[in-house]
Structure formats: C-alpha cells, structure tokens
Structure 1
Amino acid sequence: MLTSTKTGTFRFVLVAVLMLLLQACQAGEETTPAGANAGDETSTTASGTQTRSDEGGTDGRGGTLVVAMTAGNVPLPDIVPTEGSEGRRFVTYQLYDGLVRWDLSRDDATSVPRPGLAESWDISEDMMTWTFHLREGVKFHDGTDWNADAAVFGLDRILNQESEWYSASLGGAIATYTKKIDSYEKIDDYTLAIHMKEPYALLHWDLTWVRFASPDAVKTYGNDGYIQHPVGTGPFRFVSMEQGVNMILEPNTEYWGEVPKLDQLILRPMPEASSRLAALQTGEVNWAEVPPPESMEMLRQEGFQVLLNNYPHMWPIILNLQVEPWDNKLVRQAANYAIDRDGMANDLLGGAANPAVQFMYEGHDWYSEDGTTYSYDPEKAKELLAEAGYPDGFETVFVVPSSGSGNMWPLPMIEFLQQNLAEVGIDVEVEVMEWGALIQTYRPGFPPGENVGGVMVSTGSYAPMHAFDRNFASTSVPPAGNNKGLYDNQRVDELLREVQVASEEEFIPLMKELNSIVTDDAPWLFVVHDLNLRVVASNVKGVVMAQNWFIDLDTVWVE
C-alpha cells in the first residue's frame, strides 16, 4: 500500500521482486610528493561492453546534443549545483574549471588528475605548502581575467567566513575536499600558494572538485542572484534556464582548452526512467542516462548505442550504526551475506552492474584479494544473526530515493534487496523520498530521534580521500563528510593518516588494507557497482566513457 504524507515522503512495505595516483603532474618539472605515482592508471574496462560511441572520424563538428538527465529538476548552476552529483556532472564540469581537472580521455584506465587552471604545481618537501602556477591568458565567460586574485576570491567564497562573499551552503557542500586547507595566498598575479593543516600529498585529487566562478559576476549579482547569471571559464557558456524544463548551454569559443564540437547542449531533467526511454525512442532527446535495464537489448536492436564501463561508483545502503541492531558488526555482516548480488546485477539489472562483494570493485588497484568478500549465503546470514542474538530476525527502516543522481533504478532494486533480507528474517520497511528532499534531509546525517536503520545514497570513490576519508574517517561525520552512520575505527583513522604521506611502495598496500577493514566491518550494505549506463542515438559521435563519474562533452558532436 502506498500512502502520501504531508512531507512528501511515501512510506510503504514492498513485498515482491520486480525484477590512482598521480599521472597528471607530468605536465612540468614540479616536485611530486612521496607516493605521487601510487595507484597509476589501471586497465579495467568492462569486458564485452561498448565504451565509446561510434566516432565516425575525429574531425566531425556541430549538432545539438539533448541530454535526458536523471535529475528531478534543472540543477541550479553555482560551482556546487543542486541535484547532487548529476548537477556536478552536467553543469559544474561544463561551465567551470578548477586548478586541477580529471583526465577523461581514456576508457581503459582509471581516471587521474591533470592540470586545469593551474599549468603545474610544486609541493614543499614537508608537504605543507602547494604552489600552483596558474594558466595565463584565460578569460571568464564575461571577459574578465583568470588570475591569482580570482583564485583567492573563489577560495574565500567557500572557506573564509569573514568574506562578504562567503557562502555557507557552498562551503559546507564542498567541505570534504577543503578540510585539509589551512590558508592560501597570492604570491604574484599567476602564482597561488595553499598551506595545509598537516603534511598532505593528495591535494591535487581533492581540488578536482573545487571550481571557480567569475568574481565580477558574483559581486554584480550576489550569491543568491548569481545562479541566474553563472559565469565560469569552462568549455560551455550559460544561455538560459527554465526550472522543470531545461538548461541551454553553448560552446565557449574562447576556451583555453579544446573548444567543444557541439553547436548547442540542452540538459533536460527526467527523473523517471520510462520517460527517458520514451524521449529517446521518439527523438525528443539523443542522449539518455540510465534508461530501464530491460530496454538495453531492444535499444541496441533499434540502432541506439548502449554504453557501459567500470567506474568507482556503488549502490549501497549506508547503515545507521547508532541504532540497534546495526551497531552490531555480526548483524551488518549477516545482512551483507543475505544479498543475491549476482541476481540483482545480471537478472534484475540486465548486466548494467557488477556485484559489490567488497567496497572497491574487483580489478581496482585497491581491491583486497585476501580480504572478506560477501558471497550470497543466506544460511551463513542466519547463523550470524543467531550469534548476534537475533535468531528470529528484526524490523528496520530504510530510506531510498525515488530516482536521481547515480541512483540507477532504486525502487525495483530496493524491492529485490528487501526480499533478500526478508528471507533471513530482516523485515525492511521502506520510505521513498524525492531525491532533492532526501539530500537535504540526510546530508547532515541521520535525523536524531528517528529509528531509521539505513539510507540509500549512491557513492563514488574516485580518489583516495574521496573514497575512504570522506565516508569512513571518524572526523568525517556530517557536515565534514559522508560518514552518516558515525562509523569509528581507530585503525582506519591511522591508515588514512599514513596514506596522505605514503611513499609509492606503501600506498597501494595501505589502500588495500583500508578496503579490507571497511569491507569486514560492513558499515554499509555493499550491493552493486554500477557500470554508468547511458544510451545515445546512432548519430552521436565522439563519446568516451571514462572510468569516472564525469564525462568530457568537448569531444562529442551530432551528425
């Protein structure tokens, strides 16, 4: 039974199954920190899948790309947009640049940072100061200069609470990636120094998430009005936006990098998978994020290009370790053994995901070959529940989004998971929330006084600190990070301190140990690693499915 409450949350009980590290700093002679090359590019392309659109040569140009996003609305286009990571993928990464950006040119290797608005950087011997040599001649879309003053203004906007232009919402949303920064200063017009709170060799990874807006535009329109007039240095410029309908972008013909090949980019919010499928088939759009999984073969037969690839992204249930019985490790392990991941990945999702037997996916540098893996073993799950004192199981509540950024097909997936858990005695009541409301409700953590056992928030693990510090450090409880369940393991904290100054030889073993401990402790239900499904029309060319959440639209054109 489905009922609506005044908060817009739907509560119901579902009963049936519906179905690595631095390659980028090679751009100059800058000093690299200890461990800078640990986690080099690793070929882990999804076997037997199409990871590029039909290129049709490399000199094509033009056309209008119309993207059906999973977002519930048009993302508001500040440097940290609304609509979660979907907003970052299609809006932030197109309108704005950072000092560092991702290398999205390869589909056969994990993505690594490369120079962006900084041409190169140096790291002091004690790893306390990073000096960035800024790219000269770059203009914001309003014609104003990118320089060290603009960089300081941008950092003030997210870090300096004394600044007139400080935004608490932006600063909080990006705090995971800036919490190691102590101070920063302009050295000269094109040199910026960032000073750390402690020795830190991984700042370049974190800065892939920090983007810069035009100081003149922010001062003209204010932090609130700016979202109607966004101005960055990125490959696309803002044209117009109508909430609930679309955002229109055009190429930045003065872009310092590769000028986009498209004539126009239109972003449309379509939170329902069936709507994205229909729009694709009727030609209303020529690019659709995650259409229904059962449609993939049909779409191939109709001539569409079905694109899949590995990337560090998981569909989990983040558990609330502050409520019983999820505070019991045996219970968490039992629930993980109860999940038929192969059935979900291959039968329900049609091969659009891989089983998440560990936090990191098999084939990744940080996967632990000797660590705990969660096979489908209902009998073992029952034994662990009995050992934990729950021979008859228990009741719990999970909150899931109805759709949204990176969440695949959450309703049939939670039904499948719910049935798995019911078979070992765990009775799950499901609350369904609109994605934007869920983000606002659970970004600060689990609301106090509510007996919610877990929340489904898809999670990426693109960089060392993004993967482990953000999610599992005891210092990363909201709003400082994504440790919503208040997981606390002293050894994990120790390893994270070691990782941030590790040598090349030390780095990967440390990351493997982190993955092994987190997997064994099971602060989450590790369900599936999705394969970044998107479908494009046959005349969409130049798409490269990088092993990253982000995608480079500069190379794309439409015949």
Structure 2
Amino acid sequence: MLRPLSIAALFATLLPMAALADPSALDVAAPFEIKSADPVLSGDIFQKMDVVETLVNADASGTLLPSLSDGWKVSDDRLTWRFHIRPGVTFHDGSPLTAKAAALALNWSSKKEGILTRAPVASIAAEGDDVVITLLKPFAALPAFLAEYRTGILAPAAYADDGAVTALIGTGAFKATKLEPPMTLEAERFDGYWGGAAKIPAVRYSGISRSETRALMAEAGDAEVVVNLDPASVARLQSVDSLTVESVSLPRLLLLKVNIGLPFFDTVEERKALSLAIDRAGLAQAVLRYPAAATQMFPPAMTGWHDDRLEGLGYDANAAKAAFAAAGWTPGADGILENDGKRFEVELLTYPDRPELPLTAAVLEQMFRDVGIAVTINSTNSSEIPAKHAAGTLQMALFARNFALTPDPIGTLLQDYAPTGDWGAMGWRNAYFAAAVQRLASEGGGDADRSALATTLNSELPVLPIAWYQQRVAVSKKVKGIVIDPYERSLGLKSAEFVE
C-alpha cells in the first residue's frame, strides 16, 4: 500500500532536477520570465541577482549612489556629462572594466528599446577613464537613467558584431554559470568582485508564473526567497515557523488604462464616471488584503510627487450612473448602457504573472456591471498590452506599472506620457503635461512642479489608479541579510549569508 506524499515531498517531485541539485545555493523564485541574456530585456532579473551592474546605483529612498562609476560631473552648459569609471573592476571573464568597454555597452543599449532611447543623447564615447555622454539638450535626469537596469554593463565579449548579446558577462558579485530562458539562471560567487566576495557560494533564479507554486516552494524549503505572494499564500505562510513574510510599500501602481479614442472613454466626464464606479477601498481590502486604495496616481511614499491637497478619487455608484446618463448613456433592456445604438461592452485585458490582477479584474467586472458596463476579461500574456496598444486595438487593460524604473519617477512619466508610450495613456494628448514632463527631466524642478503633474493626471484621468502596491516576500529563516528594496533593484544577495 502506498503512503500519501507530504506536500513538500510531492512538490519536490514536480521541480526540475536542477532546482534541487546544489543545496549550497540560495534559491530565488519570482514570477518573471527570463527573455534573453540582454539586459535590455531581462536586466531587472540580472540586477536583482547581483550578476549585472549599472554605472549608477540608488538606495532604498531613491537617492543616487556611485556604482561602476565612482563619480560624475556635468559641464557648465549641461550638455556634456563625464562618468569616471571605478578602477580595479573586473568582468566575469577576467577582462577589465574600462571606459571603452562601458561606452560600448551603453552604445548598444541606446540602439535598442531601452531607457536611453528616451534621453536626448548625441553620442557616448570613452575618453581616458571617463565615459563621456554628449547631449542634444540639457537632461538633468541622465544619472537616474544610467541606474536603470536596461543600462546594465556587459563585457565586450558578450556582444556579437551586430550588438546581439550572446553571453551574460557582468561585473556583479555572482557570475552566471547557466542561463536557460525562460525559467532558469544559475550563478556562482565571483571571488574577484570589486566590492568584496559574497558570503553565499551560489544563487539560483527560477521564473515560476503561478503564485501557488512559488508559495509551495517557500513552504517546502525549496526556495529561500519567494517574491510576489498572493494574499491567500501570505495568510498561510505567515503561520509557517521556518519562514518570515516581509512587506514593503512600492512606488508601483495597479492601473486601469482605457482607449480614449473609443466612444466609451473619449470624454473626461465618462472617465470620471468610470472612476466613480470603482470601490477602491473595498477592492484593496478584499483582493490585496491591505489598505492601499489609490486616491491619486502617486502613493504617499513618493515624496514630492504625492499631494495631500488633491481631492481623492472616490466611490459612488449612483453618481457614476448619473454621470453616464448625463453623457448620453442609458440602460438597454438587459441593463447594459447604450448610446446612439452603441452598446457599452468592452474587453478588459490583463495577465496572470501578478496573481492579484485576474482577481482584481473579476471584481472590476462586477463593479462595472452594477453601473451598466459589460466587461469581458481576457487574461493573457502581458506582452499583449503593448502589442494591442501599438496596433490601436486595445480597449481596456489592467496592469501594474513601476514608477521607479529609474530612481526618479520622471523616467517612467517621460516614457509613458510625454507624449505617449505602450504602457501609458492611449489616445490622450496634453501638450502642457508633455512639455512639463520634458522640462522637469531636462532642468529638474521642485515639489510644485511635481504636484502640478499629479493634479493634471487626477483631473483628466488618462489612466485610472486603482491601488498602491506592497511587495510581499517569503524569506527562509535559514538565511539573513536579505533586503526587500522598495525600488526592486536588489535582494541583498551579495551581503546575505546562511545561518548556521
């Protein structure tokens, strides 16, 4: 007679053999797939795993810090930036980090769909020990852009003649030994790391899309760090003695984007009516299990961007119905709104990589049905959102957007709303807003400039904020020194260690 397997034993039989091969490695499980060895495509993972580094770093408050560049300066006309390369840094293949090598990596990055395409860069060259970046116009946000993962620096040997990345050769505390997209990255301690050798001998990343599977990995002890837990898993894992469940507020938002070119959303009044139909507080508590209703675009943790004086986005289903009626939408025989023969029926696109998204979509479907809007949910690959945006066929999308892609949120605003971007507003044009974002990126500015941008987003609602995020991570008590970074740049692997 066969005895039933424990959850841990059953799950172990389902894991790839490689995931159980090296007990000395620290395992990280997260929902994000590795697309390739190119930092432009998967640099966020390589950065978190301490394999690839950027010229500039940032701390947990978003303050810029030296990294592969140990200092920088700008010319009086603000058109020439010089980033001095830190001496004594070695790539994982043994070659030295030089200004020439760093300039080569940045030049290849600037030719791809990376963050540098949004900066007014005229040229990137090496002069002695400096990477010299010449601009077409002043751009105060450049150092923050060079902290973004898509500007990760690889060795010259990592690139083919056409700029394609053929090997993952960085400068970080861990050296890649195995890369198998979309799921697996294995890396061993790089003893020649300029910041001092890590204490952990090896690390391993597994891209596991299902939240339930990641939670089982934490519970079974098959991963020491498990990122992006769903609320149900958080409740269960908090009672597991071998784990600590940690959370931190993030500059990331749950957003509902609408196609403003459609007759459902082409007026501010209709978008405000749609916003009024959303019970953000109830949704956040029921789905996310923490009080994080987004009353405006920027959360309180984003100092200088959050404005306490703004009138918050509220909930009033009756007011929403009245506003739709004023805009010409009246209930049909089945209760769904109609206007000039057009039925208010739309597709809501989302994706399961973040487990809260399909659940939130289901709640929104019911809230919108209550005011006469028929919604069909399509939970698919996240890449469908920018693809349908570019094709002009997107109707409505629910997604998470990180306003700390660069340590300064101006980078995300510049990419999404000045004037547009695949993850930003669709069909919205506001010349004042686009110019203000461009000016803030070029010249810098104060809290009043940032508040003005927040006010415009709240008054015109080109996208609808739903909730502010918290990152929830399960960490094994067998390891100490793990960092839950609100800017999602680091897990602290290079300073972490196993507990005896």
TM category, shorter: 0.7 to 0.9
Could you tell me whether the CA contact under 8 Å between 1:321 and 1:485 is conserved in 2? yes
Amino acid at match of 1:100: V
1 CA distance for matches of 2:122 and 2:399? 30
Q: Which residue of 2 aligns with 1:65?
A: 26
SS in 2 for 1:172: coil
SS in 2 for 1:531: strand
Among candidates 386, 405, 409, match of residue 443 of structure 1: 386
> Aligned runs of 1:115-514 on 2, under 5 Å?
115-159=66-110, 171-175=112-116, 178-188=118-128, 190-209=129-148, 210-219=151-160, 223-224=163-164, 226-227=165-166, 229-243=167-181, 246-303=184-241, 304-351=243-290, 354-365=292-303, 366-392=305-331, 393=337, 394-403=344-353, 407-434=354-381, 438-439=382-383, 441-444=384-387, 446-448=389-391, 450=393, 452-462=394-404, 463-474=408-419, 476-478=420-422, 482-483=423-424, 485-502=426-443, 506-514=445-453
Compute the displacement of 1:265 (Å). Answer: 0.8
> Aligned runs of 1:66-105 on 2, under 5 Å?
66-71=27-32, 73-82=33-42, 88-90=44-46, 94-104=50-60
SS in 2 for 1:150: helix
Could you tell me whether the CA contact under 8 Å between 1:79 and 1:92 is conserved in 2? no
Aligned pair in 2 of structure 1 residues 157, 533: CA closer, same or farther (>3 Å)? same
Compute the displacement of 1:557 (Å). Answer: 2.1
Compute the displacement of 1:486 (Å). Answer: 3.4
User: Normalization by structure 2: what TM-score?
Assistant: 0.86
Percentage of matched positions with identical amino acids: 22
SS in 2 for 1:312: strand
SS in 1 for 2:428: coil
Could you tell me whether the CA contact under 8 Å between 1:395 and 1:426 is conserved in 2? yes
Amino acid at match of 2:120: K
Q: Which residue of 2 aligns with 1:37?
A: none
SS in 1 for 2:389: coil
SS in 2 for 1:301: coil
Compute the displacement of 1:219 (Å). Answer: 4.0
SS in 2 for 1:355: coil
Aligned pair in 2 of structure 1 residues 258, 528: CA closer, same or farther (>3 Å)? farther
Matched residues, number:
458
Among candidates 469, 489, 499, match of residue 530 of structure 1: 469
1 CA distance for matches of 2:458 and 2:299? 11
Aligned pair in 2 of structure 1 residues 401, 544: CA closer, same or farther (>3 Å)? same
Could you tell me whether the CA contact under 8 Å between 1:65 and 1:557 is conserved in 2? no
1 CA distance for matches of 2:121 and 2:141? 11
Compute the displacement of 1:134 (Å). Answer: 1.2
Amino acid at match of 1:260: A
Could you tell me whether the CA contact under 8 Å between 2:249 and 2:301 is conserved in 1? no
1 CA distance for matches of 2:361 and 2:152? 35
Aligned pair in 2 of structure 1 residues 324, 257: CA closer, same or farther (>3 Å)? farther
Could you tell me whether the CA contact under 8 Å between 1:80 and 1:92 is conserved in 2? no
Could you tell me whether the CA contact under 8 Å between 2:46 and 2:52 is conserved in 1? no
Unaligned runs of 5+ in 1: 1-61, 105-109, 161-170
Residues 196-205 or 236-245, more deviating: 236-245
Aligned pair in 2 of structure 1 residues 363, 244: CA closer, same or farther (>3 Å)? closer
Compute the displacement of 1:484 (Å). Answer: 5.2
Amino acid at match of 2:38: D
Could you tell me whether the CA contact under 8 Å between 2:276 and 2:313 is conserved in 1? yes
Aligned pair in 2 of structure 1 residues 194, 103: CA closer, same or farther (>3 Å)? same
- 1:459-501 CA-to-partner distances (Å, cap 9, x unmatched) read 1112232232122111x435xxx43513211221232233135
SS in 1 for 2:471: coil
1 CA distance for matches of 2:196 and 2:398? 37
Compute the displacement of 1:409 (Å). Answer: 2.1
Amino acid at match of 1:418: E
Aligned pair in 2 of structure 1 residues 240, 339: CA closer, same or farther (>3 Å)? same
Could you tell me whether the CA contact under 8 Å between 2:244 and 2:475 is conserved in 1? yes
Aligned pair in 2 of structure 1 residues 445, 93: CA closer, same or farther (>3 Å)? farther
Residues 483-492 or 114-123, more deviating: 483-492
1 CA distance for matches of 2:495 and 2:401? 26
Amino acid at match of 2:410: M
Q: Which has the larger radius of gyration?
A: 2
Unaligned runs of 5+ in 2: 1-22, 332-336, 338-343
- 1:493-536 CA-to-partner distances (Å, cap 9, x unmatched) read 23223313556xx4111111101111221111211111011111
SS in 1 for 2:484: coil
Compute the displacement of 1:258 (Å). Answer: 4.3
User: Normalization by structure 1: what TM-score?
Assistant: 0.77
Could you tell me whether the CA contact under 8 Å between 2:40 and 2:109 is conserved in 1? no
Could you tell me whether the CA contact under 8 Å between 1:111 and 1:546 is conserved in 2? no
SS in 1 for 2:50: helix
Residues 389-398 or 299-308, more deviating: 389-398
Q: Which residue of 1 aligns with 2:20?
A: none
Compute the displacement of 1:363 (Å). Answer: 4.2
Aligned pair in 2 of structure 1 residues 284, 363: CA closer, same or farther (>3 Å)? closer
